[in-house]
Structure 1
Amino acid sequence: MDKVRFGIIGIGNMGSSHALSLIHDIQGAELTAVCDTNPKRLQWAKEHLPSPVLAFGNPDDFLASRAMDAVLIATPHYNHPTLAVQAFENGYHVLIEKPAGVYTKAVREMNRAAETSGKLFGIMYNQRTNPLYAKLRELVLSGELGEIRRTNWIITNWYRSQSYYDSGGWRATWAGEGGGVLLNQDPHQLDLWQWTTGMMPARIRAFCRFGKYRNIEVEDDVTAYVEYDNGATGLFVTTTGEAPGTNRFELTGDRGKIVVEDGKLTFWRLRVPEPQFNAEFTGGFGQPECWKCEIPVSEGEGSQHKGILRNFTNAILHGEPLLAPGEEGIHGLTLSNAMHLSSWTEDWVELPLDEDLYHAKLQEKIEASTFRKNSGDGKTLDVSGTH
């Protein structure tokens, strides 16, 4: 094989962008087919994609065509696991958009299907290509920061107006999207939170506010407190209702503090680890000597979506390790599911997550969702490119 033939299910905003990237920018890749249930998107494909690219109006015909080697899924959230499983069963490599799905129970089934298929599985966690977070992960996992004591991420620069939510009846509904800021805007941060530290919390207590700032069903303001097995604590604060917003990720270890903000990575490095200083110092007031270090990081935001596409293509062709294995999508989703469940039950949520309880609570929300009431049974598979 000298080229990977890609087919895309869902050619909305992201799917169409990926289509053009595959055509113009990804060496070793070839776009051969697209699929969408929306006739307008199929018309767009006819007008903007080369004539050899096949267009299908339903996923069954698309997957039966054998017109591709790999399937890229860019549909509404609920369909990611369902379509991925179907693609694996038909013998395709699979790359999914974020999030991995809406609830971990379905995502776990998708991961099992990937494992048994023997095919490659990736997720579009394009922020893993960002040099800032790649360098942060390197510093943390190498031990430069020492043992993690605290993680704080304030990510409130997701401002969305009411008109944004009003642009589609499926937006910000339990039946249509399955969540709000945690599932739509924050999947990258929830992934990076655990990816850069190599740590998942042991338990979570979250306070989600549903429709606090906008007329929507789902959460638009979240404050979550987490505890880790080693005694470290963490805080995750996010909203779509504040302007101007903040994006500041701060990690404290026993060897100092690292802050990622405004495109910079700053390391306040202790000359002597805090536990050693505390054991040896006898002067009463005092603290370890600290050096403020501006860590050099490559300029720009990395290769982003094209970088993931390039990496996935090279993984198929040349065995290059995946930067964002699809199986890892369950980690960030576990965090958002746990935050929802903690708010719904007004209690701590222990990890591993009680997936059956979360799924049952989610079904209650779906049953009462305005999108479900306005669109029939709410269970029809929709592979239109809506995001």
Structure 2
Amino acid sequence: MNKVGLAIIGSTGIIGRVHIDAMRGLDTCRLVGIHARRQEPLRQQAEELGTRMYPTLDDALADDDVDAIVIATPHPSHMDITTRAAAAGKHVLAEKPLGVTPSEAEAQISACRDSGVKLGVLFNNRFRPEALKVRQLIDDGAIGDIYRSEMSSAMLRTQDYYDRLDWRGRWDAEGGGALLNQGIHGIDMYQWLAGMPQTVFGKVSTLKHSIEVEDYATALLGYAGGGHGVIHCNTAQAPNQQRIALWGERGAIFMDDWRVTLRTLETPVQQFIDADKTIAFVSPSDTEAAFDFEPVSGGTHRPAIDDFARAIIEDREPAVAGEDALRSQELVAAITMSGCCNEQVHLPINRVEYDALLARLRRARRLPG
């Protein structure tokens, strides 16, 4: 296979157009055709691109020139599209999140595995050079074992954002809010860098919007060995913020709005604690290094799509496979369950209990309390 033939599902939307632009000129894939629900915009787009128009999803899946589909539709539709594509023998690259619940994510993973096709998920921020540098620093042992970690994702949304599309902000459609839709990018980055916790205690609120789902969420995470983590996501704060901070035995890494700083301790923490005789206001000396990065040409969707196509050609797993996406989905569900039940939960969460909770939220059309 020289180039992977791709069909974009949901091509006329904002994200669909991002995918089309991102794949231009890639050596690993080519656009075969497009599908969207609104037929007239779809027809116009197909004419502009000089590509095939698929009136239905089944038409796209029946095309032998299509090796894989890219799902650029809202996440409540992902499970149906993915399972149908897998049954048709097509590889799948889905936008985040993979589904509404961990159960939906697992069903898609199983469907693709059983059909022998690849499943990738668009957590494209992992392809940012800043994120790759932080991952490298961790792997190289720059700060030693991590025992404290924080992630904050504040992505302000207006009331009009929720009112504009009827599936947003509803438990029976979106299935979650600041955690599942916006903050999941930061949550994925956090778990990729800091690892998965054992326990979660969360608080979720609807603070500033007239919606059913949460627009404000915070969680305390417990790790094996006693380490702590904190996750915070909201769509109700200004200015916006994207932050990850990691503290280890030998130093700390900060990624503040994609500015990466490494602080390296001259003396490891435990050694300093055991040996230093200063009573208070003390810390080991440290050196600080900041890093500069060139922006990714064509945006981060471009390397994500390229990696997925290479995974098909080379018969390997994508850099962000379905199992990777399940971890962030697990954390979202755990924070939601803990916040709604006001109790600590252990990972992995009970799937039946979470699905039952979601059913209750859909009936109530609001958070408890």
CA-based RMSD: 2.0
CA apart distance, 1:292:
2.9
Q: Distance in 2 between matches of 1:231 and 1:33?
A: 51
Aligned to 1:65: 63
Q: Deviations over 1:83-116 (max 9, x none)?
A: 2122112111111111111100111121122222
**Aligned-partner Cα distance in 1 for 2:278–2:202:** 41
* Counterparts of 1:299 and 1:3, CA distance in 2: 28
For residues 262 and 46 of structure 1, the distance between their equivalents in structure 2, rounded to whole angstroms, comes to: 37
Please say which of residues 175-184 and 187-196 is displaced more in the overlay.
Answer: 175-184
| Structure 1 equivalent of residue 30 of structure 2 | 30
How far residue 288 of structure 1 moved from its aligned partner, in angstroms, is 4.9
1:101 is aligned to 2:95: no
Q: Is the 8 A contact 2:9 2:35 kept in 1?
A: yes
Percent identical pairs in the alignment equals 31
- What residue is the counterpart of 1:271 in the other structure? 266
Unmatched tracts of structure 2, length 5 or more: none
Q: CA deviation at 1:321?
A: 6.0
Compute the displacement of 1:333 (Å).
0.7
CA distance in 2, matches of 1:21, 1:130: 14
Asked if 1:182 corresponds to 2:206, the answer is no
Q: Which amino acid aligns with 2:310?
A: N
Distance 1:262 1:334 in 2: 25
Cα deviation per residue 1:343-381 (whole Å; 9 max; x = unaligned)? 1111111111111111111122234559xxxxxxxxxxx
Question: In the aligned structure 2, how far is the partner of 1:292 from the partner of 1:259?
Answer: 14
Residue among 131, 139, 142 paired with 2:140: 142
Tell whether 2:203 aligns with 1:207.
yes
TM superposition shift of 1:57: 2.8
* 2:191 corresponding residue in structure 1: 194
Counterpart Cα distance in 1 of 2:89 and 2:274: 59
Partner residue in 2 for 1:342 = 338
State the 1:287 CA deviation.
4.2
State the distance in 2 between where 1:76 and 1:343 align: 25
Cα deviation, residue 224, structure 1: 1.1
Contact 1:100 1:107 in 2 (8 A): yes
Distance in 2 separating the partners of 1:68 and 1:245: 39
Q: Is the CA contact (8 Å cut-off) linking 1:174 and 1:369 kept in structure 2?
A: yes
TM-score by structure 2 length? 0.92
Q: 2:349 matched to which residue of 1?
A: 353
The answer as to 2:246 corresponding to 1:248 is: no
Q: Distance in 1 between matches of 2:166 and 2:40?
A: 18
1:304 maps to what in 2? 300
Paired residue for 1:381?
A: none
In structure 2, the partner of 1:161 is: 158
Give the residue type in structure 2 aligned to 1:16: R
CA contact (8 A) 1:131 1:297 kept: no
Contact 2:120 2:321 in 1 (8 A): yes
Structure 1 residue runs of 5 or longer lacking an equivalent are 371-387
The residue identity in structure 2 corresponding to 1:95 is L
Q: Does the residue aligned with 2:75 lie in a helix, a strand or coil?
A: coil
Q: CA deviation at 1:35?
A: 1.8
Which amino acid in the other structure matches residue 128 of structure 1? R
User: What is the SS of the residue equivalent to 1:196?
Assistant: helix
- In structure 1, C-alpha distance between the alignment counterparts of 2:223 and 2:90, rounded to whole Å: 38
For the residue of structure 1 that corresponds to 2:263, the secondary structure is strand
Query: Are the structure 2 counterparts of residues 326 and 44 from structure 1 closer, same or farther at C-alpha, using a change threshold of 3 Å?
Result: farther
Following TM superposition, by how much is the alpha carbon of 1:335 offset from its aligned partner in structure 2, in angstroms?
Answer: 0.7
Contact 2:183 2:234 (C-alpha < 8 Å) held by counterparts = no
Task: State how many pairs are aligned.
Answer: 364
Deviation at 1:327, TM superposition (A): 2.3
Choose 54-63 or 142-151, whichever is displaced more.
54-63
* Structure 1 partner of 2:229: 234
Look up the match of 1:17. Answer: 18
1:216 aligns with 2:217: no
**Contact 2:152 2:242 (8 Å CA) reproduced:** yes
Instruction: Write out per-residue CA displacement over residues 224-269 of structure 1, whole angstroms, 9 at most, x where no aligned residue.
Output: 1111112111111221111123322111111122111143211221
- Kept in 1, the 8 Å contact 2:89–2:115? The answer is yes
How far apart are residue 5 of structure 1 and its match? 0.6
Q: Is the 8 A contact 1:96 1:326 kept in 2?
A: no
SS at match of 2:70: strand
Larger RCO, structures 1/2 (Cα 8 Å, 6+ apart): 1
The answer to whether the Cα contact below 8 Å between 1:266 and 1:292 also exists between their aligned partners in 2 is no
Deviation at 1:222, TM superposition (A): 1.0
Answer with 244-253 or 316-325: which moved more. Answer: 316-325
